[in-house]
């Protein structure tokens, strides 16, 4: 049986898109050997797909992990982790400073008997205090969404070890270009591959990197619930990865240039970027990250939400849109977008204001971005 990724006896420069839902078996012995795991092979798309498997190998290499599993979205990846490793009676520690959709998933987990503890990332230095005998998982982002707070990952692992909990790190903001959480003590790394890994606003995917044993556990859950990524999206994701390092480098340099510019502006009351020396988490970020500090920053502009809206509406180069990590620079007001999943009172409980804006740097020339920001600030 020929390898579907090398159909002509040599290797194509682009991984073939295998759209097949099912596969014909040459004979029953081949079926047995595939289902028993003796040979590599495919039976049904919900189980696996060669195009998907190819991109999993590439993300595993970026995250320096034994293996990786991809699925239909970043939140699907997070939910696979929760469903694979949590049970009724377990305690899950989450930080307010993570993507807002986790709040909705936490409500589902609570209905299933999981106890959820919410902390502010500012409390991470005392994380061990909150670990209980039944704490089974700690889930964090560093830098966090949207305020770019930095959590010491090795310290979080020490806290997790107190109860034998799994430490899960969302690396979407940092990306594997700047940070490899597995080398810092995380058990698993998750990504919204929709963002910087894909990078072009044209696909939705999630990824989880970890050990081969974790791959097998997560594969079981993915196969059971049916959230395997489609082959076309996997191909787009693989294409995005070909320019990932170039894009990540440019986004980080743009991030630093823009942060240095914004810190001189009186209409910016607070600025959150871990690359700045006065950022509270700068020292930890400098220790954990490499090659820069990423392309994400947030800041409070003007005095009111109307000021923030006026500022965003005046931008010409930077696009008003949700998501992040794209070739285009994107800006939004988290209170009105990414945090809509949270009750209004919770959106403001950990440092986000209704005039906080989140800026995701693209790959434009820095002078174009700075010029756009400067002209928009004049309207305040």
Numbered ranges of CATH 3.40.640.10 in the chain: 28-242
State how far Cα 369 lies from the chain centre. 24
What fold does the segment set 244-377 form as a domain? 3.90.1150
In CATH, what number does 28-242 get? 3.40.640.10
Residue 170 catalytic? Answer: yes
Instruction: Out of 99, 103, 177, 215, pick the active-site residue.
Output: 99
pLDDT at 70 over 70: yes
Mean pLDDT of 320-336: 97
| 248-279 tens-digit pLDDT | 999 999 999 999 999 999 999 999 999 999 99
Mean pLDDT of 344-373: 94
| 79-110 tens-digit pLDDT | 999 999 999 999 999 999 899 999 999 999 99
Strands 91-95 vs 135-141: parallel, antiparallel or unpaired: parallel
Residue 99 catalytic? Answer: yes
Residue 202 catalytic? Answer: no
Instruction: Out of 25, 46, 122, 162, pick the active-site residue.
Output: 46
Instruction: Out of 53, 157, 166, 195, pick the active-site residue.
Output: 195
Q: What is the mean pLDDT of the chain?
A: 95
pLDDT at 2 over 60: no
Residue 286 catalytic? Answer: no
| 117-156 tens-digit pLDDT | 999 988 888 999 999 999 999 999 999 999 999 999 999 9
Q: Which residue has the higher pLDDT, 13 or 161?
A: 161
Instruction: Out of 67, 97, 170, 230, pick the active-site residue.
Output: 170
State how far Cα 214 lies from the chain centre. 18
Numbered ranges of CATH 3.90.1150.10 in the chain: 244-377
For residue 1, the model assigns a pLDDT of: 39
DSSP per residue over 318-363, as a string?
A: SEE-S--SSSS-EEE-GGGTTTTTS-HHHHTTTS--TTEEEEE--S
User: Rounded CA gap, 75 and 97, in Å?
Assistant: 15
């Amino acid at each position: 049986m020929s390898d579907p990724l090398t159909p002509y006896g040599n290797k194509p420069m682009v991984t073939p898109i295998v759209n097949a839902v099912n596969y014909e078996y040459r004979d029953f012995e081949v079926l047995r050997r595939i289902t028993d795991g003796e040979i590599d092979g495919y039976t049904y798309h919900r189980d696996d797909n060669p195009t998907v498997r190819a991109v999993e190998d590439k993300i595993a290499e970026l995250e320096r992990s034994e293996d990786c599993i991809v699925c239909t979205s970043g939140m699907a990846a997070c939910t696979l982790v929760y469903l694979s490793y949590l049970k009724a009676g377990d305690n899950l520690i989450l930080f307010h400073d993570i993507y807002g959709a986790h709040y909705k998933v936490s409500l589902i987990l609570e209905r299933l008997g999981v106890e959820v503890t919410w902390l502010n990332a500012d409390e991470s230095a005392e994380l061990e205090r909150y670990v209980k005998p039944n704490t089974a998982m700690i889930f964090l982002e560093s830098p966090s969404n949207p305020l770019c707070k930095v959590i010491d990952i090795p310290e979080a692992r020490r806290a997790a070890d107190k109860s034998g909990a799994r430490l899960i790190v969302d690396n979407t903001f940092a990306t594997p270009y700047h940070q490899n959480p597995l080398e810092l003590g995380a058990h698993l790394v998750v990504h919204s591959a929709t963002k910087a890994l894909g990078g072009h606003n044209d696909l939705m995917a999630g990824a989880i990197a970890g050990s081969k044993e974790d791959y097998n556990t997560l594969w079981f859950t993915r196969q059971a619930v049916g959230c395997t990524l489609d082959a076309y999206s996997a191909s787009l994701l693989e294409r995005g990865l070909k320019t990932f390092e170039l894009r990540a480098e440019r986004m980080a340099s743009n991030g630093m240039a823009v942060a240095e510019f914004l810190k001189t502006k009186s209409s910016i009351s607070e600025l959150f970027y871990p690359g700045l020396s006065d950022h509270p988490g700068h020292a930890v970020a400098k220790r954990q990250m490499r090659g820069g500090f990423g392309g994400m920053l947030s800041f409070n502009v003007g005095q009111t939400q109307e000021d923030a809206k006026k500022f965003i509406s005046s931008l010409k180069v930077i696009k008003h849109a949700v998501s992040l990590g794209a070739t285009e620079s994107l800006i939004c007001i988290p209170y009105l977008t990414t945090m809509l999943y949270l009750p209004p009172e919770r959106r403001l409980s950990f440092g986000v204001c209704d005039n906080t804006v989140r800026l995701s740097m693209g790959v434009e020339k820095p002078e174009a971005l700075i010029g756009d920001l400067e002209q928009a600030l004049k309207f305040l």
